[in-house]
Amino acid sequence: MMSASSLPQSATFSPETIAEIERAANEGLYKIRGFGTLRPLPSFDDLVLLGASISRYPLEGYREHCATDVTLGTRFAKKPIELNIPITIAGMSFGALGVNAKRALGRGASAVGTSTTTGDGGMSEEERSESKILVYQVLPSRYGFDPDHLRACEAIEIVVGQGAKPGGGGMLLGQKITERVAQMRTLPAGIDQRSACRHPDWTGPDDLAIKIQELRELTDWEKPVFIKIGSTRPHYDVQLAVKAGADVVVLDGMQGGTGATQEVFIEHAGIPTLPALRQAVEALQELGQHRKVQLIISGGIRSGADVAKALAMGADAVSIGTAALIALGCNGSVHIEDYYALGTKPGACHHCHTGRCPVGITTQDPVLESRLDVEEGARRIRNFLTVLTMEAQTLARACGKSHLHNLEPEDLAALSVEAAAMAGVPLAGTDWIPGKSRH
């Protein structure tokens, strides 16, 4: 007689697939959740940096300087923003996040001289006061959009799409639409908020160019204008963003997180950060705009190694969202009974959409939110950003670089054929880049 564990199971209809079909049949709704992709994808882990030896000369770890500063918006803006480190905090809305989380992110980022970004729903007073360098998003929904906030920010980011749901609009479920969030967005409290996927007043790159001019006119050409896109066809989208007049392109890979969207979107739309970055850099180089139009890459950046590899591939800066929330305490092993109540556990929670965040980050519930101490959260953000920077510097010095931006593709090798093809760097131990001629 066969034991239960040795019974043959279908690879196509695995137990997880059967469970999902049963759930869909019972509930009649697609699955909505937060966080980002759960399945394995090619990533920066598939690349390694080639430290110096005899053919290259390393820098001394504690004595020789490796600069980290970056200036964003040098193309047209009168007042580009200057960051001490090339790691920024990605756009996340007040609404998706509680106010304490926004304050902690702002305070921690400001402590190390970098920027934070607003999100769908507008700019809160707390966020403005905590963030010395604040990027204000212009989204399709225009929820809470206010020209006074355009004047008050340091840079403007037109959001065309994001990596978790390229081509889709935002979503904030009713349990997070409190009176304050509703008032900021001019919505009835408690409804499931839908966001448009297209902007209301422009429809293509030619329109976008005029839209950018409008934003520049309103702010007297002072502020850098970023354009954020999800990674699907980055070669074309980056070139069109440049043509439309962007100062900075923000490219969000498939691993980028979200507060809430359909799971089918998170797992099945867009391309991973690795190939998207390579295509974006090539697109800028084709136009002669690499390093003139700055490129910020996001989507699954977790460590200083990721930062160093992204910069070596040609990014000017990176942006972090999920990793920053984890630094704040997301998925931490506290209040475990509240994770269980959500049907999850620390380390596996992706229930941002429920508004019942056990650690008080992605919630509007005052009791839950009180679990996040702003000063402690800011300290953790500052520490995390500092560690990312020091790790990236460590690797850059080992490659003989006196500035993080001196890292280059020649400093990289790939550990898999797939990663070599996607990143456009040689497979380790060879001079072979799949898809490119050796000569």
Partner 1 sequence: MIEVDLARSSVRTLNERLHHLTPRANELHWRVLNPAGAHNIAVGITQRVDVEIKGHVGYYCAGMNAAATVVVDGHAGTGLAENIMSGLVRVRGNASQSAAASGRGGFVVIEGSAGARCGISMKGVAIVVGGSVGHMSAFMGQAGTLIVCGEAGQDLGDSLYEAEIFVAGTVASLGADCIEKEMTQDAVEHVAALLDRAGITANANRFRHYGSARRLYNFHIDHASEY
The region of 156-164, 195-203, 416-424, 426-434 touching partner 1 under the rule CB under 8 A is: 195-203
Distance, CA of 427 to CA of 420 (rounded, Å): 5
Q: By CB under 8 A, is residue 183 in contact with partner 1?
A: no
What is d(CA 46, CA 416) in angstroms, rounded to the nearest whole number? 7
Binding status of residue 210 toward partner 1 by CB under 8 A:
yes
Please give the structure tokens belonging to residue 418.
């797939």
d(CA 267, CA 270) in angstroms, rounded, equals 9
* Per CB under 8 A, 288 contacts partner 1: no
Residue 166 has phi, psi (to 5 degrees) of: -60, 125
Judged by CB under 8 A, the residue of 187, 227, 254, 396 near partner 1 is 187
Least CB distance from residue 186 to partner 1, whole Å?
A: 4
DSSP structure string for 31-46: -EEEE---S----GGG
Interface pick for partner 1 out of 194, 268, 292, 436 (rule CB under 8 A) = 194
Residue 353 or 382: the one with the smaller Cβ distance to partner 1 is: 353
CB of 165 to partner 1, least distance (A): 15
Both tokens assigned to 96? 């998706």
Positions 215 through 274 that interact with partner 1 (CB under 8 A): 217-221
CA distance 274 to 416: 13
For residue 22, how far is the Cα from the chain centroid? 33
214 is a contact residue toward partner 1 (CB under 8 A)? yes
**Of 122 and 270, which has the nearer Cβ to partner 1?**
122
Phi, psi of 40 (to 5 degrees): -70, 140
Contact indicator for 424, 409 with CB cutoff of 8 Å: yes
Could you tell me the smallest distance in angstroms from the CB atom of residue 207 to partner 1?
7
| Smallest gap from residue 362 Cβ to partner 1 (A) | 19
Q: Degrees (nearest 5) of the Cα angle 402, 408, 411?
A: 95
Residue 200 engages partner 1 in binding (rule: CB under 8 A): yes
Q: Which stretch binds partner 1 (CB under 8 A): 67-75, 108-116, 212-220, 353-361?
A: 212-220
Distance from C-alpha of 110 to C-alpha of 104, rounded to nearest angstrom:
10
Minimum CB–partner distance for residue 153 and partner 1 (Å): 14
User: In terms of Cα–Cα distance, which of 428, 429, 424, 392 is closest to 409?
Assistant: 424
- 126-155 residues in contact with partner 1 (CB under 8 A) are 141-142, 145-147, 150
Shortest distance, CB of residue 250 to partner 1, whole angstroms? 22
Residue 173: Cβ within 10 Å count: 18
- Using DSSP bridges, classify how beta strands 47-49 and 412-414 pair: parallel, antiparallel or unpaired: antiparallel
**Which CB sits closer to partner 1, 74 or 213?**
213
Residue from 59, 67, 205, 213 in contact with partner 1 (CB under 8 A): 213
Q: Chain centroid to CA 389: how far?
A: 17
Stretch that binds partner 1, among 39-47, 75-83, 206-214, 229-237 (CB under 8 A): 206-214
In terms of Cβ atoms closer than 10 Å to its own Cβ (0-12, 13-18, 19+), residue 138 is buried
Q: Does 188 contact partner 1 by CB under 8 A?
A: yes
User: Would you state the structure tokens that stand for residue 80, as one six-digit string?
Assistant: 């580009």
The region of 22-30, 43-51, 84-92, 327-335 touching partner 1 under the rule CB under 8 A is 22-30
192 binding partner 1? (CB under 8 A): yes
Q: Is residue 21 within the footprint of partner 1 (CB under 8 A)? A: no
410 binds partner 1 (CB under 8 A): no
Helix 99-111 to helix 374-398 angle (10° resolution) is 40
| Residue 247 beta carbon to partner 1: minimum distance, rounded to whole angstroms | 17
C-beta closer to partner 1: residue 56 or 180: 180
Residues that bind partner 1 (CB under 8 A): 27-29, 141-142, 145-147, 150, 174, 185-188, 191-192, 194, 196, 200-202, 207, 210-211, 213-214, 217-221
